[in-house]
Amino acid sequence: MSVSQQRLSQSYAARRVILPRWVDIQNVLGIHFMLHSQILSHFRNRAELLLSGQLAGMAADYVYPLPVFLHPSRLLIGGPDHALLVFSHLRAALARRGVVALRPSISAVDLPRAGRFRVWIDWQEIAFPAEGTRMSQAVYYCKTTELGLRTEMVNYTRLSMPELNQEFATLALTA
């Protein structure tokens, strides 16, 4: 086995990113780093919490105030109570469209800097009937904490429901 093959075999690969062994990253940078599978599991759990209506559990995964960029508008979620209002509104809109599952797919993960990193996610909204199936894309600005992964900012690069922009703008004014 060549040296380059040996190094690659000791790496963890995420799409578009090859990460050295996570133990080495922790030792060198002095941070806790989450693997691709752990990050994906975290976002799958968020999707399940949203669709099942367990919004308080979902709201606990964010750092407030939470800026959310909705291309071209923006929303600043001031705290967990405001997040519950926004998430319940989003859940109702998904239910009206017949969305039965949300499937995250990680496109890329940044290498962490000072415990912070970005995650690019494509969200597939599986709906019944199938005509309601749509896709959205977002960049999550995350940090690792003793409590797990927390999101500090969200930037939607593709919205699946641009018709909700005006409704979210109204929610921002009432907060």
pTM of the model: 0.77
CA distance 62 to 125: 22
CATH of domain 32-174: 3.10.450.50
Residue 13, H or E segment: strand 12-14
Backbone angles phi, psi at 60, to 5 degrees: -70, -15
Calculate what percentage of the chain has a pLDDT beyond 70.
Answer: 73
pLDDT tens digit string along 71-100?
A: 778 889 999 999 999 999 999 999 988 999
